[in-house]
Amino acid sequence: MSQYPHLFQPLDLGFTQLKNRIMMGSMHVGLEDRPWHFGEMAEYFAERARGGVGLMVTGGFSPNRRGDLLPFGSKLISGWQVPFHRKVTDAVHAAAPDSKILLQILHAGRYGYTPLNVAPSAIQAPINPFKPKELSARDIEKTIDDYVRCAKLAKRARYDGVEIMGSEGYFICQMINLRTNQRDDEWGGSYENRIRFPLEVVRRIRAAVGEDFILMFRLSMLDLVDGGSDSAEVLQLAKALEEAGVTLINTGIGWHEARVPTIVTSVPRAAFADVTAQVKAAVNIPVIASNRINMPDTAEAIVSQGKADMVSMARPLLADPDWANKAQAGRADEINTCIACNQACLDHTFENKRASCLVNPRAGHETKLLYTPTSKPKKVAVVGAGPAGLACATVAAQRGHKVTLFEARSEIGGQFNYASKIPGKEEFRETIRYFLKMIEVHNIDLRLNTMIDGQRLKQEGFDEVIIASGVAPRVPDMPGVDHPKVVTYQDVLDKGMALGEKVAVMGAGGIGFDMCEYLTHEGESITLNTSAWMDEWGVDGSNQNRGGLKPMEIEKSPRKVYLLQRKGNGFGKTLNKTTGWVHRAVVKMKGVETIGGVSYDKVDDEGLHITITKGKGADAVTEQRVLDVDHVVLCAGQVSVNKLHQQLEQDMGKTFKLHLVGGAEFAGELDAKRAIKLASELAASL
Ligand code: FAD
Ligand code: NAP
Ligand code: SF4
């Protein structure tokens, strides 16, 4: 019997059946907008169908031009597009006849990043520079027709159904909510009038496509914006959607303009499953839970406890297309877990680039980055078991090379070990667990506690040597840098060094911000305690308060922290697009004092002496300050650890082919996304 019996029980929808309770939720991956990318999109979905998922949803397609998310964005509005979509649906059904795929219909409304966007009322979104035009009543009728046309085209394209996007603050949310709908016609005013639009869309689609077509509605169960719906309204709408002909209800949490994070790594796993459970208790159709579900234990618990009938995981299926097969076969420890970093998926989408995955660079590139078995197995040495070395060793061994992985320390993971000690980044440990398992599965010869030098590599007769020795903290040239008050982020995170009550963090990049999280939290990470996390971020999970919001209860920082940078302003500007705002919010919530325009004069027993420059040129004003701190933590960037490479090049001649990868190659702006991608590409080419 499966270790996850509830997850792998089929779900009967009456006219059809889903083979399990696992859905890959909708993600815009950047292949949807141009017809010539549909071949690649077909393989992207087919790979996941082969991986055992029961149901998948495409990225959003607008039902008309005014609903575009971006200029010339993805839409399904005409018969000529049908053959392109059939490439996708046929590939999925050929790969796994019992796997199903739905097209998502998404009208962006005022979130459309185009000057042509439209909305129920002409109220601009706080996250969009383009003010929408108000739709007339006639336009609204026409928009419903467009939804129906889109669903009919989806049926012709052999999709198994459609998902109507009614959450995350898009057009349907804007119709439902007073915050965005201030109309005084039959589409505005009372709640009944405001939910008329989604109900009409569902009724008319159902009438047009017949009974044997899956109609899923993504319902905003917790808006997380001021004046959002409350629980009574959400349940009223859920029941009305059931009556109108919906087959399945999927969960949506939070509008894009919400001040509460809903999917980043610091959100507890399954944080919102209890919100879904309220809807499940109110309706008789299956309900799907979503957000921060990434491993089978969590998914099984949600279904077995009756909180939902299915689970939706979007990013976890980017990270590992074989997620479902591995879980079903009792090999959950082989799952390449999504760490919810957003770095290669959502960040890319928001930067208008193709989505991929930090831990799986093949995602979105299934037809190009191939790990084909080698016909000429080689003896490969990888030096350093950080993310770069681990990815390189795993891919090379998976392809059939004989790999030896040398690591100077007693554990694998490199800098990811430090990352995983930051409160809210516990998920990073999963990547280390995954690679440890891959070392076993692919018979990699792991040699811990082995600091490599050139002589040793020569003796063992390797064909290829990959130096992945990574990075070390940069120690700036400053008087007093060797004072006992001065420590590196590595000293703190690796050795668990106790720090005083007043600490200055030098450098406000990703690691500086992470260090602030570390220094301003005490005790159990709130990411591991959903109710504490809800209290801190002011989330009312019962949704009795409108929008599911309540006052934030912020735990006081155990120490005074200063965050310093040499740049004059723009704290946290280099942080990632979709997660940086959360880090900036935490630093503010915890009372960290940020000081820009700093030059570091010296450190002595008094503390850190700095000069602060405000303004530029002739208007510049300087001020000298002594920060009376117990410790100064260096987070001032990193330098490569590649002395070995130079030594090998000088000493060894050409007895083997030498490669540099990850931080060892180039430390500037290095992150794990680049380290893993370049290492995987190198291993694919050996
Ligand atoms: P490293 O991780 O430095 O690994 C190199 C390995 O080589 C080490 O294990 C080292 O012991 C070993 N080694 C060195 N010399 C030798 C030798 N001669 N013989 C044998 N072994 C040797 N990145 C992100 O993308 N997202 C994040 O959110 C993120 N958060 C971070 C948070 C913190 C606190 C820190 C410190 C880093 C974070 N990073 C993050 C950065 C990320 O961890 C690094 O970019 C990544 O680890 C670099 O990988 P690497 O394999 O090149 O080097
Ligand atoms: P970083 O982002 O480059 O930041 C380094 C900081 O140190 C900057 O704020 C810089 O600002 C300062 N600095 C640089 N040289 C200095 C010097 N000589 N003296 C004093 N200050 C100096 O690097 P990082 O914080 O070390 O992070 C390393 C990599 O890990 C980054 O590329 C990042 O992407 C990744 N990472 C990502 C995350 C994430 O959440 N995605 C988290 C952590 C790390 P000034 O020059 O203005 O002083
Ligand atoms: Fe998950 Fe990060 Fe990969 Fe996105 S990039 S799928 S968040 S691991």
Considering every ligand atom shown, identify the ligand nearest to the alpha carbon of residue 515 and give its number: 1
CB atoms within 10 A of CB 309: 21
Whether the CB-CB separation of 246 and 216 falls below 8 Å is answered with yes
Q: What is the mean pLDDT of residues 506-522?
A: 97
Whether residue 651 is predicted with pLDDT greater than 80 in this model: the reply is no
The stretch 6-13 carries a mean pLDDT of 98
For the CA of 294, the closest atom of ligand 3 is 1
Atom 14, ligand 1: residue with shortest CA distance: 469
Q: What is the pLDDT of residues 653-680, one digit of tens each?
A: 667 788 998 877 877 778 999 999 999 9
Q: Which atom of ligand 1 is nearest to the CA of 450?
A: 20
Residue 8 has pLDDT above 80, yes or no: yes
**For residue range 83-114, what is the model confidence (pLDDT) as tens digits?**
999 999 999 999 999 999 999 999 999 999 99
Residue 339 beta carbon below 6 angstroms from any ligand 3 atom: yes
Q: What whole-number distance in Å separates Cα of residue 427 and Cα of residue 192?
A: 43
Q: Of all atoms in ligand 1, which is nearest to the CA of residue 673? A: 25
- Residue closest to 657 by CA, chosen among 665, 666, 648: 648
Query: How far is ligand 3, taken at its centre, from the CA of residue 24, in Å?
Result: 14
Q: Verify whether ligand 3 is closer than 6 Å to residue 315 (CB atom).
A: yes
Does position 429 have pLDDT exceeding 80, yes or no? yes
* Å from CA of 33 to ligand 2 middle: 35
Q: 617 falls in which pLDDT band (50, 70, 90)?
A: confident
Closest residue CA from atom 7 of ligand 2:
636
Position 647 pLDDT exceeds 80:
no
Ligand (nearest to CA of 337): 3
* Ligand 2, atom 43, residue with closest C-alpha: 510
All structural domains of the chain: 11-335 (3.20.20.70), 379-472+640-685 (3.40.50.720), 486-521+557-636 (3.50.50.60)
| C-alpha–C-alpha distance, residues 428 and 679, integer Å | 18
Report the C-alpha dihedral over residues 238, 240, 242, 246, rounded to 10 degrees.
-90
To 10 degrees, what angle do helices 82-95 and 137-156 make? 50
Measured in Å, residue 669 CA sits from the centre of ligand 1 at 12
In angstroms, rounded to a whole number, what is the distance separating the alpha carbons of residues 204 and 246?
Answer: 11
Whole-number Å distance, alpha carbon 357 to ligand 3 midpoint, is: 5
pLDDT score, position 511: 97
Q: Which helix (H) or strand (E) holds 19?
A: none
Atom of ligand 1 nearest to the CA of 409: 11
Q: What mean pLDDT comes out for the span 334-361? A: 96
Residue 169 is inside which H or E element, if any? Answer: none
Q: Quick one: which of 25, 667, 6, 41 has its CA closest to 354? A: 41
The distance of Cα 146 from the centroid of its chain, to the nearest Å, equals 31
When the pLDDT of each residue in the chain is averaged and rounded to a whole number, the result is 95
C-alpha distances (whole Å) from 232 to each of 41, 132, 551, 583 are: 40, 29, 21, 33
pLDDT category at 23 given cuts 50, 70, 90 is very high
Q: Which of 4, 44, 159, 170 is catalytic?
A: 170
Note the pLDDT tens digit of each residue in 380-425: 999 999 999 999 999 999 999 999 999 999 999 999 999 999 999 9
**Residue count (the chain):** 686
- For the chain, the maximum distance between any two Cα atoms, rounded to a whole number of angstroms, is 83
Pocket of ligand 2 (CB under 6 A): 343, 474, 476, 506-512, 514, 565-567, 574, 576, 635-638, 669-671
Indicate if ligand 3 lies below 6 Å from the C-beta of 29.
no
Calpha distance 487→495 (Å, rounded): 11
230-252 per-position pLDDT tens digit = 999 999 999 999 999 999 999 99
DSSP assignments along 475-527, one per residue: ----TTTTSTTEEEHHHHHHH-----SEEEEE--SHHHHHHHHHHH--SS-GG
For the stretch 270-296, pLDDT in tens is: 999 999 999 999 999 999 999 999 999
Q: Is the pLDDT of residue 320 over 90?
A: yes
Q: Which ligand is nearest to the CA of 29?
A: 3
Q: How many A from CA of 671 to the centre of ligand 1?
A: 8
pTM, 2 dp: 0.96
Cα–Cα distance for residue pair 608/602, rounded to 1 Å: 6
Please confirm, yes or no, whether 170 is among the known catalytic residues: yes
Average pLDDT (539-566) is 96
Amino acid at residue number 660: L
Ligand 2 centroid distance, CA of 667 (Å): 11
- Look at residue 201 and give its three-state secondary structure: helix
pLDDT for res 653 = 60
**Residue 641 confidence (pLDDT):** 78
